[in-house]
A = this chain, B = another copy of it.
Amino acid sequence: MSIAAAQVQNTSVITVPVPLGDRAYDILVGRGLIEVAGPRIAALGARAAAIVTDEHVGPLYAQALSQSLQANGLRSSVITLPPGEATKSYTSLERVCDAVLEAKIERGDLVVALGGGVIGDLAGFVAAIVRRGVRFVQVPTTLLSQVDSSVGGKTGINSRHGKNLVGAFHQPSLVLADTALLDTLPVREMRAGYAEVVKYGLIDDARFFAWCEANWHGIFNGDLERDEAVAQSCRSKAAVVVRDEHETGDRALLNLGHTFGHALERITRYDSARLVHGEGVAIGLNLAFRFSAALGLCAISDAERIEAHLAVVGLPTRLSHVPGGCGTVDELLDAMAQDKKVKGGSLTFILAKGIGQSFIAPGIEAEKVRAFLTGEINASRS
């Protein structure tokens, strides 16, 4: 038995069920899961798997995964793509679809996404459309993908008209969140994913937020708290997804912090050197609570508490923290208007009455947003 496999024996695996009727599946969370991926995936009854990964992740983990599959009678092949958001393109889509067909993946077989959200979104979309749909397994390797993108079945690529505009809802058959894989993740990516963890507490679980405040060290260090944080985040997201699989209502709560965050990503042109998604979300979370406070909905002390926690883990929280600047108020409003959450002159925001008390707020007048942002920008100047 390998050391890692032995570790698995000692470590408990947490199972988070996602009860979506005939598309139900389990998320398994634990250290060293990749070493036992073989039996778990073989149990799904496929005979072959196409592993999709990127050039950072593949060299680290693809071999362990294929060996585990092979040891359990599954033929596998590895398709490796360049890392980065640019990989969520039509070109990669064609390349991966053809490679999956080349690998003779039939209707009963599988695509396995081994990587962060970029690989998960792309490989999931490929699985949705090759032979009009084959099954797929997520092996998320970033904190963000373990707690967010690998749960919920949203898959897709980017178009020149915007992010994630082409894709499908396609639920995985299994998610294996091996928290040991995060040991090699750059700390900046770790922090970015952590913003999404915090988000779940802020949406509807004040106790979880408090737990994060007390236990974030363990999460970053790879202690048992990491597994718990991932599992609890998956439970939160799964609960929302089960209520609203195709995003027609409640699922919008998951956008807490994202209206401001997406605007900042747009303004920084998705240049990850300046801002990665989770950093935009961190600033967005803080702004959502500050805006809620400005509207008299929640206490400013709640916003301050959130800001203090995000800052202590090293996340940006203010418009002034955007490297290269956050643009003018008009640019910010324009960028928000593109988020299709606008109707007439008013926007839909996710606001909060306090930590763990978020709600969908349609009909927020653009003027109120403008006044708030003007204040934020001026404050940062003085």
The answer on a CB contact under 8 Å between B94 and A132 is: no
**Secondary structure of the A side of the interface?**
mixed
Interface string of A129-159 (1 = CB under 8 A from B): 1111100000000000000000000101001
The answer on a CB contact under 8 Å between B130 and A165 is: yes
In Å, the complex CA distance between A93 and B91 comes to: 11
Asked whether A25 is an interface residue with its Cβ less than 8 Å from the other chain, the reply is no
The answer on a CB contact under 8 Å between A160 and B98 is: yes
Report which residue of A90, A132, A168 has the largest number of chain B beta carbons within 10 angstroms of its beta carbon.
A132
The answer on a CB contact under 8 Å between B132 and A168 is: yes
Chain B min CB distance to A13 (Å) = 31
Known A90-B90, A168-B168, A340-B106; judge A159-B129 contact (CB<8 A): no
Asked whether A101 is an interface residue with its Cβ less than 8 Å from the other chain, the reply is yes
In Å, the complex CA distance between A32 and B102 comes to: 46
Asked whether A356 is an interface residue with its Cβ less than 8 Å from the other chain, the reply is no
The answer on a CB contact under 8 Å between A169 and B94 is: no
* Chain B residues whose C-beta falls within 8 Å of the C-beta of A101 in the assembled complex: 159, 161-162, 165
Within 8 A of B (CB), among A86-140: 90, 93-94, 97-98, 101-102, 106, 125, 128-133
Asked whether A17 is an interface residue with its Cβ less than 8 Å from the other chain, the reply is no
The answer on a CB contact under 8 Å between A161 and B102 is: yes
The answer on a CB contact under 8 Å between A133 and B93 is: no
Within 8 A of B (CB), among A67-99: 90, 93-94, 97-98
Chain B min CB distance to A294 (Å) = 31
* Chain B residues whose C-beta falls within 8 Å of the C-beta of A98 in the assembled complex: 159-161
The answer on a CB contact under 8 Å between B167 and A132 is: yes
Chain B min CB distance to A304 (Å) = 38
In Å, the complex CA distance between A161 and B104 comes to: 10
Asked whether A166 is an interface residue with its Cβ less than 8 Å from the other chain, the reply is yes
The answer on a CB contact under 8 Å between A159 and B97 is: yes
- 18 interchain pairs, CB-CB under 8 A: A90-B90, A90-B94, A90-B97, A97-B159, A97-B165, A102-B161, A106-B340, A129-B156, A129-B167, A129-B168, A130-B165, A131-B165, A131-B166, A132-B154, A132-B167, A132-B168, A133-B168, A168-B168
The answer on a CB contact under 8 Å between A132 and B156 is: yes
A-to-B contact residues, CB < 8 Å: 90, 93-94, 97-98, 101-102, 106, 125, 128-133, 154, 156, 159-162, 165-169, 340
Residue among B97, B130, B161, B169 making CB contact with A133, cutoff 8 Å: B169
* Chain B residues whose C-beta falls within 8 Å of the C-beta of A93 in the assembled complex: 90
Residue of B nearest to A162 (CB): B101
6 additional A-B residue pairs with CB within 8 Å, beyond A97-B159, A132-B154:
A90-B97, A101-B162, A128-B168, A129-B129, A129-B166, A168-B168
* Chain B residues whose C-beta falls within 8 Å of the C-beta of A162 in the assembled complex: 101
In Å, the complex CA distance between A166 and B132 comes to: 6
* Chain B residues whose C-beta falls within 8 Å of the C-beta of A154 in the assembled complex: 132
Q: Which 4 A-B pairs have the closest CB atoms?
A: A101-B161, A90-B94, A132-B167, A129-B166
In Å, the complex CA distance between A57 and B112 comes to: 42
* Chain B residues whose C-beta falls within 8 Å of the C-beta of A128 in the assembled complex: 168
In Å, the complex CA distance between A16 and B31 comes to: 56
